[in-house]
Amino acid sequence: MAGAPVSATLLALATPAAESALPCRSDTRGPTRDVTTDNARLPTLEDVARLAGVSRATVSRVINGIRNVNPELHEVVWSAVNATGYVANRAARSLVTRRTGTIALVVSDSESHDDDPFMSRFFSDPFFGRVVGGLMSALRPAGIQLALQLVGADQARGQLVGDLRQGQADGSVVLSLHPGDTLPQLLADAGLAGVVIGRPARPVPISHVDVANDRGAALAADHLVARGRRRIGMITGPIDVPASVDRSSGFRAAMARHGQLFVPSVTGNFTYDSGDRGMRELLAEYPDLDGVFVANDLMAQGGLGALHELGRRVPDEIAVVGFDDSSAALAARPQLTTVRQPLEDMAAEAARMLMALIDEPRRETTAVVFEPTLVVRSSS
Amino acid sequence: MAGAPVSATLLALATPAAESALPCRSDTRGPTRDVTTDNARLPTLEDVARLAGVSRATVSRVINGIRNVNPELHEVVWSAVNATGYVANRAARSLVTRRTGTIALVVSDSESHDDDPFMSRFFSDPFFGRVVGGLMSALRPAGIQLALQLVGADQARGQLVGDLRQGQADGSVVLSLHPGDTLPQLLADAGLAGVVIGRPARPVPISHVDVANDRGAALAADHLVARGRRRIGMITGPIDVPASVDRSSGFRAAMARHGQLFVPSVTGNFTYDSGDRGMRELLAEYPDLDGVFVANDLMAQGGLGALHELGRRVPDEIAVVGFDDSSAALAARPQLTTVRQPLEDMAAEAARMLMALIDEPRRETTAVVFEPTLVVRSSS
DNA sequence: AACGTTTCGGAGAGCGCTCTCCAAGGGAGT
DNA sequence: ACTCCCTTGGAGAGCGCTCTCCGAAACGTT
């Protein structure tokens, strides 16, 4: 039951060559479609009502679970529904209810243009999948669909807001890839139901879920100290990213509590390379460090690579703690001790908050902050 | 510009503790919503028509780009649209057109139950994200939404088919996590438009895209031989997975062409552990191997771990080639030479095929097979 | 027994859009 | 000059559903 290999079920080898597609076989036996399917009008409420010998309204009541329906009729109606194989037409229903039963997952990337490959890099990061999984876990029981929306250029944002208002979705969960994204503000201004994952850089009157980045960093600090490390440094993330700022300040504060008032640090940009570079810089200036907190796993992995090449043994000579518990943490050698944020839970909570907001639009905006946990592996 | 750190923008530390959420602050300033938004009915076709001084029908024609409209009116109508900020109501439109403008990405997992954590494992694999990214790249230009559907238990399958028929989506792209999944057959029987990613285990009259697993494996074989390896073994995947079978047979065939008729091999199950184990078994029986093809990256990563512990130097003493080019390939030390399948392209093609199928339902089912490529890294 | 109250089910009016049908107008053909 | 055809735009009928309004029936009250 170790990490199962879902991807492998279907795969093969990569292709820079864009259009290497070659139609191959075409198994066709007879007409592709079942004739009955194409023509036969799907059963409507009317059909069910006729079969059950009641009116449309009654059937509607039964289906929507509204009281005031005689139990016997209830029975009759349901058996008619089953007999006809009736499924409510979503479009017709939402035309009148003004609800779509859909929420949008909006991935907003203000810096990239519409067809930027950046998006694909984002999608291949487990982060995205974990969020989707968390959302689905909350949405599915409620019978709500999840629709994906990508917005890149600013021009697309206005359109998105328009689409959102006009029945594309009842609300949206926003995933901003960059600090200072304008979308949360736009949604707030338009009065649309929305929940942001991750605290917006600037305060925006919109609900969000987040993780306590500062406390997560403190966890890392406590751990390093508990491991007996006394000369501890840090590689931070970009200074304009809220999460990054919180991690740095949380770490420094925790170290101060442990009596280390100065934390040698360098600034990275969350990439593997910047972690590699950052670690080398840090050690060049402070060669006797015996512990390093790195603000995300990818940089930590890079740092680990640098340490390996520098001949420093991890964790014996120097301990490393990352942040995120991404796949990079497992991929790193040695495997990375890291701070994990409960992304699935956060996403699920975001979905629940959004549903509540949709049901009761005047609800106050709220923020829910989750507690991170420390995952101890071999790097510390 | 190296692999950017999307996930890190928002993250912190993990939580086995389920309900660790704690409401924190609630920035509310005044009523949450803009009053104008709540009450003001959104502009309808009627409103636009009145403003433009024409009939609804004319506005509809203009918006849907139907000819037979006087260019001047065209102008007038568009400016009225802009003035009102009109956006067509999706529900109303699809009620009459019988098109939703949505396609479903159906993730089908016949072995798991509805709330199985397996799903979350799947979502955190880059495989999922790559498919989504590929789909979006084709869907977005066409203005088509992507909705996510998960189906686990069989019971849910019937319902899915019902929902799909009744306007949940115009068609679906199916991602089956297990061989022999019944869903493709169900869709075919129901005459629903669908495209499967990955060849179904049993032939089903439904279109699909796939990668040439056999040729991918051959690429690996050719590469190992070209690297001067002469005693080459293999760790295969499960024998009931089509992709796995194709990889094995493709590899054996290619090796035969190179004069090595017997390929020592052990069977794994695509997990890290089974790769570790498989490598040990393989070397126990054939200690002098100088090259190994492993049917997926995760197993290859496990195998690399085993080699490290066994003190075999990679690639000097023994070369390793994986399959998938997943994140595991980059994570492995040394980084893994692997066969990459063009997942994004495949998904995009699946989307295009599906759109064509939706436009012309009687179209024959087709299969498109993509060529894999070899990504050479340090393990060979 | 007459009235008030409550429960239940039907009738029917839309929701906002598309699209067929039709009328009006303009150009060409004879 | 008259007829015919083609282009253009309006009128209006639904698409399938929900939900308000209303009447009928069933019950309880004085």
pLDDT of amino acid A332: 79
* Residue A297 forms part of a structural domain: yes
Q: Considering B76, B97, B118, which residue would you say is the last residue of a domain?
A: B97
Q: Across residues B143-170, what is the average pLDDT?
A: 81
The pLDDT value given to residue B181: 86
Q: What is the mean predicted confidence (pLDDT) over A134-157? A: 85
Residue of B318 and A122 predicted with greater confidence:
B318
| A12, part of any domain | no
Residue A65 has pLDDT above 90, yes or no: no
* Residue B179 and residue B233 in one domain: no
Domain count along chain B: 3
Residues A223 and A255 in one domain: yes
Tokens of A123: 């999608």
Q: Is residue B334 domain-resident?
A: yes
Task: Give the closest residue to B321 by CA, choosing from B198, B225, B199.
Answer: B225
Q: What are residue A272's phi and psi, to 5 degrees?
A: -55, -50
Q: Which of A99-113, A282-296, A353-367 has the lowest mean pLDDT?
A: A99-113
Using 50, 70 and 90 to split pLDDT, how confident is the model at A114? Answer: very low
**pLDDT at res. A120:** 60
Q: Are strands B337-340 and B373-375 parallel, antiparallel or unpaired?
A: antiparallel
Q: How far is CA B370 from the centre of its chain?
A: 14
Q: Are residues A141 and A227 in the same domain?
A: no
Residues 6+ away with beta carbon under 8 Å from A143: A101
Residue B322, in any domain of the structure = yes
Residue B234 β-bridge partners = B265, B293
Query: Is the domain of B51 the same as that of B121?
Result: no
Last residue of a domain, one of A97, A126, A157: A97
Domain that holds residue A360: 102-211+344-369
Candidate from A344-353, B12-21, B157-166, B201-210 with smallest mean pLDDT: B12-21
Question: Which of A64-78, A205-219, A317-331 has the weakest average pLDDT?
Answer: A64-78
Q: From residue B53, how far is each of B57, B65, B111 by CA, in Å?
A: 12, 19, 60
Indicate if the pLDDT at residue A281 is higher than 90: yes
Which pLDDT belongs to residue A154? Answer: 65
Instruction: Check residues A141 and B258 and name the one with the higher pLDDT.
Output: B258
In the predicted model, is pLDDT for residue B46 greater than 60?
Answer: yes
Q: How confident is the model at residue A274 (pLDDT cuts 50, 70, 90)?
A: very high
Mean pLDDT over B120-138 rounds to 81
Q: What is the DSSP string of B238-304?
A: -TT-HHHHHHHHHHHHHHHHTT-----EEE--SSHHHHHHHHHHHHHH-TT--EEEESSHHHHHHHH
Q: Tell me, yes or no, whether A231 and A327 share the same domain.
A: yes
Q: What is the pTM of this model?
A: 0.83
Do B350 and B304 sit in the same domain of this protein? Answer: no
Flag whether pLDDT at A104 surpasses 70: yes
pLDDT of residue B66: 75
For residue B373 the two structure tokens come to 């490529």
Residues 124-183 (B) with a CB less than 8 A from some CB of A: 124-130, 132-134, 136-137, 140, 145-150, 162-163, 165-168, 175-179
Closest CA-bearing residue to C1' of D10:
B55
Q: What 3-state class would DSSP assign to A118?
A: helix
Q: How close B171 gets to chain A, by Cα (Å)?
A: 13
Residue B69 forms part of a structural domain: yes
Element (H, E) at A197: strand A194-197
Distance CA B122, CA A126 (A): 9
Give the residue among B278, B284, B370, B368 at the shortest CA–CA distance from B322: B278
Q: Look at residue A124 and tell me whether its pLDDT is greater than 80.
A: no
Q: Between vectors from CA B347 to CA B345 and to CA B113, what angle results, nearest 5°? A: 145
Check residue A146 and give its pLDDT: 93
**Helix, strand, coil: what percent of chain B each, to 5?**
45, 15, 40
Residues B130 and B85 in one domain: no
pLDDT of residue A4: 34
Mark whether B198 and B226 lie in a shared domain: no
Flag whether B143 is in a domain.
Answer: yes
DSSP code per residue over A213-255: HHHHHHHHHHHHHHTT--SEEEEE--TT-HHHHHHHHHHHHHH
Distance from CA of A203 to the nearest CA of B (A): 8
* Cis? peptide before B334, omega within 30° of 0: yes
Task: Please state whether strand C lies within 7 Å of residue A367 at its CB atom.
Answer: no
Which tokens belong to A125?
């990061």
CB contact, 8 Å: B288 with chain A? no
**Tokens representing A226?**
């508990």
B67 touches strand D (CB under 7 A): yes
Higher pLDDT among residues A238 and B126, named by residue: A238
Domain identity same for A110 and A67: no
Given a cut of 60, whether residue B2 has pLDDT beyond it is: no
pLDDT at A11: 31
- Residue A68 included in any domain: yes
B363 vs B208, B353, B358, B368, CA distance in Å? 13, 10, 9, 15
Residue A16 inside a domain? The answer is no
B374 contacts on A by Cβ (under 8 Å):
13-14
The reply to whether B73 Cβ lies less than 7 angstroms from strand C is no
pLDDT-derived band at B263 (thresholds 50, 70, 90) equals very high
Give the integer Cα–Cα distance in Å for B112 and B304: 30
Tokens (6 digits) for A64: 């929507």
Indicate whether B233 and B294 sit together in one domain: yes
pLDDT at B41 over 80: no
- Which chain A residues contact residue B273 at CB under 8 A? 2
**Residue B71 is part of a domain; what is its CATH number?**
1.10.260.40
Interface test with A, best of B1, B7, B157 (most A CBs within 10 A): B7
Residue A8 has pLDDT above 50, yes or no: no
For residues B20-47, average pLDDT: 50
Mean pLDDT calculated for residue range B302-320: 94
- Interchain CB contact of B20 with A (< 8 Å): yes
| Tokens found for residue A301 | 């992995």
Query: Is A78 an interface residue toward B (CB < 8 Å)?
Result: no
pLDDT of residue B40: 59
Average pLDDT over residues B340-363: 92
Residue A313, helix vs strand vs coil: coil
Reply yes or no: is the peptide bond before residue B315 cis, omega within 30 of 0.
yes
- Say yes or no to pLDDT of B20 above 50: no
Under an 8 A CB cutoff, do B339 and A14 touch?
yes
In this prediction, residues B211-236 reach a mean pLDDT of: 97
Q: Cβ neighbours of residue A265 under 8 Å, at least 6 residues apart? A: A233, A234, A235, A236, A248, A282
In this complex, the residue of B26, B123, B128 whose CB is nearest that of residue A364 is B26
Residue range A273-284: mean pLDDT, rounded: 95
Over residues B57-101, the pLDDT tens digits come to 889 988 888 777 778 888 888 898 988 889 999 999 999 999 999
Q: Is the pLDDT of residue B135 over 90?
A: yes
Same domain, B198 and B316: no
Neighbour tally for B305: CB within 10 Å: 18
State the average pLDDT over residues B166-175. Answer: 88
Q: What is the CATH number of the domain that holds B106?
A: 3.40.50.2300
Please report the DSSP string for B36-79 in residue order.
HHHHSPPP-HHHHHHHHTS-HHHHHHHHTT-S---HHHHHHHHH
Phi, psi of B338 (to 5 degrees): -155, 165
Last residue within a domain, chosen from B29, B63, B97: B97
Whole-number average pLDDT of chain B: 83
Q: Are residues A135 and A278 in the same domain?
A: no
What residues have CB less than 8 Å from B216, skipping those under 6 apart?
Answer: A12, A13, B247, B250, B323, B339, B341, B372
Cis, peptide link before residue A315, omega less than 30° from 0: yes
User: d(Cα A329, Cα A142) in Å, to the nearest integer?
Assistant: 34
